[in-house]
Amino acid sequence: MAETLMELVDLKTYFDNEDGLLRAVDGVSFEIEKGETLGLVGESGCGKSVTALSTIRLIPQPRGYIAEGEINYHRNGEVIDISKLKRHGKKMRSLRGNDIAIIFQEPMTSLNPVYTIGEQITEGIFIHQDADKKSALNRAVEMLKKVGISAPESRIHSYPHELSGGQRQRAMIAIALACDPNFLIADEPTTALDVTIEAQILELMRDLQSEFGMSILFITHDLGVIGEMAERMVVMYTGKVVETGDTDEVFKEPLHPYTQGLMSSIPRIGSKERLIPIKGSVPNILTLDQDQCYFASRCPEVMDICYEKEPPVFGEERNTKCWLYDTKEEAV
């Protein structure tokens, strides 16, 4: 039986801004098993990245905060609720970068331009591994080799601007994996790369996951990448999870009208069928009525109840947040 590594329970992350309360993550629940890749997909602004940043307590301050919920990390028989830890406390620092690591989507803005790649890899090793300078540098060289950067002995002395886009992303992966984390968050790590480099990075991540045995939360708006990388997937819309299930099953038979719309908008090689866009645009969640389905105004299957009451989650491992399955739960 698979073991749970990370579990989000009714997570709510809000931002106080000038226009009102922004519910960026609004009751998100899912779990990640040890050794698996879970895909988190949805349109830009749906709350994917905020969900990820919540798990490592890097929500922008002072306006952002975790309002409710649990972020349970399972470590050696201990369950740690990260949402209750101090943002810069000793226990949180021991988890961040050591047990839990993150790869951001744009390495040029994530890497420090005034430090060499070697210095940035060894920083986490010094903090978490109690290593001396020589062993830390050896580890940095080893990690650059693992991520496929040529001449790593010299590249550890390079600055970020001296590397190509693909090399910078590989360096980010090396930094993230230097302390052998159990849980890796990949926040759109291939968005800024061309398709050839993207394929290389995805293959590299699969190989490294196989070697290190870590769990990956893979965040993207690209369904093709999810289909290639993730065993299970979570679909988000306006801060809420609307569907969860095995990736192959979701692709074969999407349940939620929003997921169906996403699948219908994927271009397919050799197909002459016209792409069907999702009508309308993402609503302003600042002005949405909480007592309704947030997708109602764009949904081709909308019913009266959709405007009257927020749907619960129907189903278990294969589930969806849609009133269509109130009377057809056997279909889930």
Amino acid at residue number 8: L
CATH of domain 4-237: 3.40.50.300
- Mean pLDDT along residues 11-20: 93
Q: Which residue has the tokens 């988190």?
A: 40
What are the boundaries of each domain within the chain?
4-237, 249-331
Nearest to 308 by CA among 324, 292, 323: 292
Per-residue pLDDT of 98-128, as tens digits, reads: 999 999 877 778 899 999 999 999 998 998 8
What is the predicted pLDDT for the residue at 18? 87
Q: How far apart are CA 190 and CA 200, in angstroms?
A: 10
Residue 332 has pLDDT above 70, yes or no: no
- What share of residues in the chain are helix, strand, coil (percent, to 5)? 35, 25, 40
* Higher per-residue confidence, 247 vs 316: 247
Q: How far apart are CA 2 and CA 92, in angstroms?
A: 26
Nearest to 51 by CA among 94, 96, 9: 9
Percentage of residues of the chain with pLDDT beyond 70: 98
Burial 61-98 (b: 16+ CB within 10 A, else e): eeebebeebbbbbbeeeeebebbebeeeeeebbebbbb
Percentage of residues of the chain with pLDDT beyond 90: 70
Q: Which pair of structure tokens corresponds to residue 173?
A: 């992966």
Per-residue pLDDT of 54-76, as tens digits, reads: 999 999 888 999 999 999 999 98
Q: Which pair of structure tokens corresponds to residue 158?
A: 């390079």
Q: How far apart are CA 239 and CA 26, in angstroms?
A: 5
Q: What confidence category does residue 331 fall into, taking pLDDT thresholds of 50, 70 and 90?
A: very low
Q: How far apart are CA 174 and CA 163, in angstroms?
A: 14
What is the predicted pLDDT for the residue at 98? 92
* Higher per-residue confidence, 131 vs 324: 324
Q: What confidence category does residue 328 fall into, taking pLDDT thresholds of 50, 70 and 90?
A: low
What is the predicted pLDDT for the residue at 330? 43
Q: Which residue has the tokens 């698996």?
A: 36
Q: To the nearest whole number, what is the mean pLDDT of the chain?
A: 91
What is the predicted pLDDT for the residue at 159? 96
What is the predicted pLDDT for the residue at 123? 92
What is the predicted pLDDT for the residue at 10? 97
Per-residue pLDDT of 229-286, as tens digits, reads: 999 999 999 999 999 999 999 999 999 999 999 998 877 777 777 778 888 888 888 8
What is the predicted pLDDT for the residue at 109? 82
Ranges assigned E (strand) in the chain:
4-17, 20-33, 37-41, 64-75, 78-81, 100-103, 183-187, 215-220, 232-237, 240-246, 319-320
Residue 2 has pLDDT above 60, yes or no: yes
DSSP 8-state symbol, 60: P
> What is the chain's length?
332
What is the predicted pLDDT for the residue at 275? 78
Return the C-alpha torsion angle 127, 128, 133, 138, nearest 10: -140
What is the predicted pLDDT for the residue at 329? 44
Q: How far apart are CA 46 and CA 236, in angstroms?
A: 6
pTM for this model (two decimals):
0.92
Q: How far apart are CA 69 and CA 11, in angstroms?
A: 4
What backbone phi and psi angles, to 5 degrees, belong to 117? -60, -40
